[in-house]
Amino acid sequence: MEERILTLINETNRNIFLTGKAGTGKTTLLHKIIETSYKNTVVVAPTGIAALNARGVTIHSQFQLPFASFLPTFDSPPIANEFFRFENRQSLKKHFQMHRNKQQVIKNMELLIVDEVSMLRADVLDAMDFMMQFIRKDRRPFGGVQVLFIGDLLQLPPVVKQEEWEVLKHYYTGMYFFQSQVISQYPLLYIELEKIYRQTDGVFISILNHLRDNKLTQEDLRQLASHVRPEFAKQHKNEYITLTTHNHKADMMNQEELEKLTSPLFSYEADVVGDFPEYLYPIEKVIQLKEGARVMFIKNDPSGEHLFFNGKMGTVVALGEKEVSVALDDGITIDVERYEWENVRYKVNDTSKDIEEERLGTFTQYPLRLAWAITIHKSQGLTFEKAVLDLASVFASGQAYVAFSRLRSLDGLVLLSSVTQNGIDNDEKVIDYADNKATEEEMLQACREGRIDFLRECILKTFDWQSLLEEWYTHSHNYIGDLGNKNAYKSWAMQQYARVKAMVAVSEKFNKQLLGYFQSPTPIPTIFERILKAVAYFSPLLETIWYELLYVETKVAGLKKVKEFSKELKELDDSLTEVIKKLFRLEQMVVLLQSQTPFSKENIQPKKLEAMRFRLIERVLTALKNEQLFANPPKVGIPEEKTKKDKKEKISTYDITLQLWQQNKTVAEIAKERMFTEGTIYGHLAKLIERGILSTEIIEAIFTTEEINELEALFESEEDLSTIKGIYEKANEKYDYGRLRLFKEYFLSKR
């Protein structure tokens, strides 16, 4: 099953829903897909904590979606009042003015993984789909990106207020992601993992299956009734964790038990570095512990020794200023190390055009949580040997199933009250949707057909160079007027355009020929042979164009008054790099298909592209040295002669901060390097915004989308902006004055 799923991901473009009962290894498979897929992959989730656990980002931050409901239409007007807001397709467009880096990530994306999909609302998915089509200029679902949805729909459901539903029900039959318009029109390949790793107890597995399907039998209820032992639970709080429905219940129980301990109280504060917003905190910023406290690990052992895992229970046996020792329930005592969580965003590598993670900030804390009690919500994904279930106040479909399925067997189960079918039913719509599960034969057919479709699509993309031609046309016809040093390259640009035009004419004929092969019973080996011949034909042509471009790009790098020219050349370089990358990737795919070798990150890499670039840059440097343009090799080009005034000019303190900011340094890093306070650096950035420099980029890097929306509302409501004290107080001191002054300049600049 796992191999087939990896084949569908790596060798087809099918959109997939991957599900499975609790304990079937969905998260493990998710990590394997991320580790092995060669595709440009982005991981998102509906909430911040879910995104952090999946090492991804939230849907709203990645796709710049507002926190509003979405009406999938142009006709109905957007709605806004003090309680809720609705965007339609037209009003949503105003949120698509995003930073170039974010646009590049979306345009270069090949595989989107959506984790914890049970919480994803249908309207949010339709908004995401509309945005991806808009940015990628591709009307196919999700702009042509392959999407893998992962989750168990019988776990936490999407949240929608009744007032919202009164409007949304005119567009949707329900709020589950599969009820979105995009999924209704373009159904997913539904794959269910069936082997259960968490439970081996046949009776318990049977009860869990009946609970999922709303078919608890009298025998099931009798079995569960034998585990109702409220008095036993009170006497064994240190051995059994209690799973309850509400935060206040869990917090109260943990606090009461902690206060009963007579040992000294120790507090441990997390180290937060860079951009790590509070809503992403995976655990309390300050943890309070005493010797004797029951705790639970919330991460797996990063050392590789597997001493503990997410959900492992233990008791604190020793504490110090920088020391926490925990005796695990299996008898082993360990010194707990602090764990570092990362807040990341995605960016496109300038050279390879691969999507990479960029670390924005870190949160370092002991991976421990008080564990006399925990909410069912926070228990999702965990495994317990022993647990007390408090299900009296179950309020959402799926809660009871999540709670029961955390246990390995009935042996460790204690119930505080009797279980009845009433009140713990799962949504029938979800159960009905499970009827779409693909059979073994349907999966095989999806692999066979998907491979051919994917190969055809790769060929079309690889040899579609129309946009490259248009870019060279625009560039070559943009030498008008006195452009300084740029004018010297006008004839060069026309020659390059002519080369590209001739090459594109051949590629179009080749594409038509290959499409004809796919529409006729042409043997696949013949198609492979033609592709490899095409790669051999076009590679030297592209290499010549790339060499010429790199030569000019390097030659003008040190000249003055060529900033815009250099920017144009860089954009042409980016586009050409992407064309060559796709060509070499297609070549690798064909070779692997010929040898029947599975695609993976290991065997589909841009090594050939990187080698060609390195070789061409070496040639460029050699050529420029031979022309004696490199008196001092690190200085490229011939700078204009400096005047005395130039020599005396000093860079302003704001410009120094700007240079460091443009090197992707955080405010904290700049402050440390310049030995200023962070407040001073925020002041510099505010001055840069006042001067009209990098306004949106600075704000988007420092504030989350939620914070931007909140602050815009606060500033809009404030009549007197001569002071920001009022906003500081209205925000409950959430933002320091430095950040508020920065946002004030941004807000005023927009006006």
Q: Is 477 within 8 Å of 37 (Cβ atoms)?
A: no
392 has a pLDDT exceeding 70: yes
Q: Are residues 358 and 238 in the same domain?
A: yes
Give domain status of residue 415, yes or no.
yes
pLDDT digits (tens, 9 = 90+) for 161-196: 888 899 999 999 999 999 999 999 999 999 999 887
Pick from 1-15, 16-30, 682-696: least confident = 682-696
Give domain status of residue 633, yes or no.
no
Domain boundary among 171, 196, 221: 196
Helix (H) or strand (E) holding 373: strand 373-375
Q: Are residues 154 and 220 in the same domain?
A: no
636 has a pLDDT exceeding 60: no
Pick from 253-257, 680-684, 708-712: least confident = 680-684
11 has a pLDDT exceeding 70: yes
How far, in Å, CA of 389 to CA of 405, rounded?
11
535: confidence class by pLDDT, cuts 50, 70, 90: very high
pLDDT digits (tens, 9 = 90+) for 39-52: 999 999 998 878 88
What value does the mean pLDDT of the chain take?
A: 86
Q: Provide the residue range defining the domain that includes 728.
A: 653-750
What's the predicted TM-score (pTM) here?
0.72
641 has a pLDDT exceeding 50: no
Pick from 226-235, 481-490, 509-518, 533-542: least confident = 481-490
Q: What is the pLDDT of residue 75?
A: 79
Q: Are residues 593 and 718 in the same domain?
A: no
- Retrieve residue 262's tokens: 């007579």
367 has a pLDDT exceeding 90: yes
pLDDT digits (tens, 9 = 90+) for 406-461: 888 899 999 998 887 665 667 888 888 988 899 889 999 999 899 889 998 999 88
Alpha carbon 612 to its chain's center: 31
**Max Cα separation, the chain?**
95
Q: Are residues 113 and 13 in the same domain?
A: yes
Q: What is the pLDDT of residue 635?
A: 42
pLDDT digits (tens, 9 = 90+) for 214-252: 888 899 989 999 999 988 888 888 889 999 989 899 999
634 has a pLDDT exceeding 70: no
Q: Are residues 496 and 601 in the same domain?
A: yes
Give domain status of residue 127, yes or no.
yes
Find residue 193's DSSP bridge partners. 20
Q: Are residues 468 and 338 in the same domain?
A: no
Give domain status of residue 723, yes or no.
yes
Q: What is the pLDDT of residue 422?
A: 63
Give domain status of residue 149, yes or no.
yes
CATH of residue 100's domain is 3.40.50.300
Q: What is the pLDDT of residue 646?
A: 42
Q: Are residues 179 and 209 in the same domain?
A: no
Q: Are residues 53 and 179 in the same domain?
A: yes
637 has a pLDDT exceeding 50: no
Pick from 76-80, 102-106, 584-588: least confident = 76-80
Give domain status of residue 746, yes or no.
yes
Q: Are residues 373 and 488 in the same domain?
A: no
668 has a pLDDT exceeding 80: yes
Mean pLDDT of 76-95: 80
201: confidence class by pLDDT, cuts 50, 70, 90: confident
| Long-range interactions of 280-288: CB distance < 8 A, separation 24+ | 280/48, 280/49, 280/51, 280/52, 280/343, 280/363, 281/363, 282/49, 282/52, 282/53, 282/341, 282/363, 282/365, 283/365, 283/367, 283/368, 283/369, 284/369, 285/365, 287/365, 287/366, 287/368, 287/369, 288/258
Q: Are residues 143 and 228 in the same domain?
A: no
How far, in Å, CA of 378 to CA of 242, rounded?
12
Q: What is the pLDDT of residue 630?
A: 46
Number of structural domains in the chain:
4
Label each residue of 593-622 as H, E or C. Answer: HHCCCCCCCCCCCCHHHHHHHHHHHHHHHH
Q: Are residues 313 and 397 in the same domain?
A: yes
Q: What is the pLDDT of residue 633?
A: 46
576: confidence class by pLDDT, cuts 50, 70, 90: very high
Find residue 19's DSSP bridge partners. 192
CB-based contacts of 733: which residues, under 8 Å, 6+ apart? none
Q: What is the pLDDT of residue 482?
A: 59
Give domain status of residue 638, yes or no.
no
pLDDT digits (tens, 9 = 90+) for 304-325: 677 888 888 899 999 988 889 9
639: confidence class by pLDDT, cuts 50, 70, 90: very low
CATH of residue 722's domain is 1.10.10
Give domain status of residue 641, yes or no.
no
Ramachandran category for residue 373: left, alpha or beta (phi over 0 → left; psi -120 to 50 → alpha)? beta
Alpha carbon 262 to its chain's center: 45
Question: Which one, of 368, 399, 361, 400, lies nearest residue 284 by Cα?
Answer: 368
How far, in Å, CA of 220 to CA of 227, rounded?
11
CB-based contacts of 372: which residues, under 8 Å, 6+ apart? 237, 238, 241, 242, 253, 254, 257, 294
Q: What is the pLDDT of residue 254?
A: 94
Q: Are residues 463 and 482 in the same domain?
A: yes
For residue 726, what are the CA distances in angstroms to 79, 275, 708, 720, 732?
A: 29, 25, 17, 9, 10
Pick from 3-7, 100-104, 140-144, 281-285: least confident = 100-104
Mean pLDDT of 505-527: 86
